Amino acid sequence: MTVSELVLVVAAAGVVAGLVAAVVVVVAGRGRSSVPVAAVGADAVQSQLAVLGEQLRAVQAVAERLQGDRARQHGELVATLEAHSRTTESLGATAQALRTVLANPKARGRWGERIADDVLRLSGLVEGVSYVRQRQNATGTVPDVTFLLPDGLVVNMDVKFPLDNYGRMVEATSDAERDEAGRLFVRDVRNRVRELGGRGYVEPGVTLGFVLLFVPNEAVYGFLHDTAPDLADEALGRGVVLCSPFTLYAVVSIIRHAVEQFELARTSDEVVATLQRFTLEWEKFTASLDTLGRRLESAQKAFEDLSGPRRRQLERVLDRAGTIEAPGGEGRGDRPEPEGLRAVGD
């Protein structure tokens, strides 16, 4: 029985109780009143019916409000169930796609590369500038990603991660199967760490002292730390760093900032060296300029000496020579001045 039906039943019971009370009042007052019974009974019943009518209308309003609330809540419940249904379908499709990826080694490799690409792009690295793909190194190995560092150094990363037994663990139907698949998965990861530690991904003088092993899922990364807490220490001892998408973002961000700071420091050193060379060349220039100035000043003094006292001395000699008389009685002043002396006098 719904709430509205219960309210209506209670209201009906109240009406019946009111009518019974009215009849009782009429019967009880039959012997004590001189008013006709029919008149008294009709008035009492009418009064009770009016009161009950008001109560019924109030109860009906409450029932209608409750009915509206129930309809609204029912609609919200239906919408919530539909949303949960869509979410469940989406999760089912995602789980199926994940199972498909985990079952195919090539698809699994592409999936890991795609997630790594997203992380590298979000961290601000640029392919061909900050890192390269599938480039063979000096030992003949081909890392999936090679990060380019200053001074010719590199850091290698491998994105091929063994997920076969993890997929079996997820799909296991019993605890025994799940535990066995989990144990095999941890064994596969240990073997992968040992393989990377001995493949030439770390070369003294060419790479940094570690190689990155990308774990393409945070849940897988967390499972490894919970199930095999010693695995991270063993990997570090072999020069292998396990990276989930979040930790890879942190690592490559640190690499990018370190490269930027190195480039800034190198540029600053070049600026300082250039300023030092400029200072040295400026000192040489000013010394040569001062020497030239002194030489020009000496030449100016020599010129002024020639054009001043020396010239006047020559002019006086020429004037005196012009007053000397020739043996024939004619003075030098009547003769034209030789071309060479006139040029000097002018």
**pLDDT tens for each residue of the chain, 346 residues long:** 554 555 555 555 555 555 555 555 544 554 444 445 455 556 766 777 777 778 778 878 888 888 888 888 888 888 888 887 777 776 666 556 566 655 566 666 677 788 888 888 888 888 888 888 888 877 778 888 888 888 788 888 888 888 888 888 888 888 899 899 999 999 999 999 988 887 777 888 777 888 899 988 888 888 998 989 899 899 988 889 999 999 888 888 888 877 777 777 667 767 777 888 888 888 888 888 888 888 888 888 888 877 777 778 877 888 787 777 656 555 444 555 555 444 444 4
In which residue are the tokens 């010719």 written?
152
Q: How far apart are the first and last CA of the chain?
A: 142
pLDDT score of 345: 44
CA 170, 173, 178, 180 torsion-angle sign:
negative
DSSP 158-225: E-----HHHHHHHH-SSHHHHHHHHHHHHHHHHHHHHHHHTTT---TTTB-S-EEEE---HHHHHHHH
Residue-wise over 165-182: b if at least 16 C-beta within 10 A, else e?
A: bbbbbbeeeeeeeeeebb
Q: What is the pTM of this model?
A: 0.50
Contact status, residue 172 vs residue 155, Cβ threshold 8 Å: no
Distance CA 120, CA 160 (A): 16
How many residues make up the chain in this entry?
346
Identify the bridge partners of residue 242 per DSSP, sorted by sequence position: 213
pLDDT score of 343: 45
Contact status, residue 137 vs residue 143, Cβ threshold 8 Å: yes
Distance CA 161, CA 141 (A): 17
pLDDT score of 313: 80
Structure tokens at 118: 């997203």
Side-by-side strand order, sheet with 154-158: 131-133, 145-148, 154-158, 211-214, 240-243
